[in-house]
Amino acid sequence: MKEENTKKKKSIYYILLAVGILLLAAAVVLTVWFTTNGNNNVVENPPIDTPDDSNDPTDPTDPTDPTDPTDPTDPDEPDEPTGSSEPTEPTYVRPIAVETCSVEYDAIYINETTDFIYRHKAVDFAAEAGTEVYAMADGTVTAISLSEELGNLITIDHGEGLTTTYRFVEPSETLAVGAAVEANTVIGTVAEAYGSEAADGTHLHLEIAVDGSPVDPNEYLDLTYDEK
């Protein structure tokens, strides 16, 4: 009887062991199946949503992006200056409608009226009496001198130390000291020959100075001279 009970216990043990092995095998099979087949819809890394660059309003490369700092319509972007930052040079005009000069600057001059010989620190334009004389550049009239001996003169200050003097002229009746004139304004006419250069014929005598020192008018005007 005892031997029979022992056999039954062994049978139950082997049955339980077999059942355990089967359950374990089933678990392994199910695990393998779910790993290889049942989890196909799961991926390790979720997809990254990459929007269409052409429709992204914040795309920094999009020329229509309203936040683009290079957008010319950006109200925060300062306007670029449209004018030149360089100062403009003044314009100088010929003071008389005469093509050539009769006497050059710094030439050895023999005054036929006084017989004096000296350096001529001006240029002369031979012209008929009554020929209009123009301001060489914008400026202010600083002197009008009427002298029968030295010749009537008009002096204009153009700023920065530059002055022009027109001698042997008849000043315009409306011209006055302190008057502002523009380039090419008629300031007078060539006078009849008289005074210290009476024997030299009617002409405009033009002097230019910088800070009181005479300079060659050809530095400001494109001058040519009469053939000798």
Q: What is the pLDDT of residue 42?
A: 43
Q: What is the pLDDT of residue 189?
A: 98
Q: What is the pLDDT of residue 228?
A: 60
Q: Is the pLDDT assigned to residue 46 strictly greater than 50?
A: no
**Nearest Cα residue to 121 out of 136, 103, 138, 133:** 103
Which range among 62-76, 148-162, 214-228 shows the weakest confidence by mean pLDDT? 62-76
216 neighbors 106 (Cβ within 8 angstroms): yes
101: CB partners within 8 A, 6+ apart: 123, 124, 125, 223, 224, 225, 226
Secondary structure element (H or E) that encloses residue 119, with its range: strand 117-120
pLDDT digits (tens, 9 = 90+) for 50-79: 555 555 555 555 555 555 555 555 556 555
105 neighbors 119 (Cβ within 8 angstroms): no
206 neighbors 166 (Cβ within 8 angstroms): yes
> Residue 193 carries which DSSP code?
S
Q: Model confidence at 105, in pLDDT bands (50, 70, 90)?
A: very high
State the chain's mean pLDDT as an integer: 80
Q: What is the pLDDT of residue 38?
A: 52
**pTM reported for the whole predicted model:** 0.61
- Domain residue spans in the chain? 107-219
**125 or 68, which is more confident:** 125
Q: What is the rounded average pLDDT of the residues 83-109?
A: 82
Q: Which residue has the tokens 């210290």?
A: 196
Which range among 5-9, 128-132, 149-153, 202-206 shows the weakest confidence by mean pLDDT? 5-9
Which range among 35-49, 82-96, 104-118, 146-160 shows the weakest confidence by mean pLDDT? 35-49
CATH superfamily of 107-219: Glucose Permease (Domain IIA) (2.70.70.10)
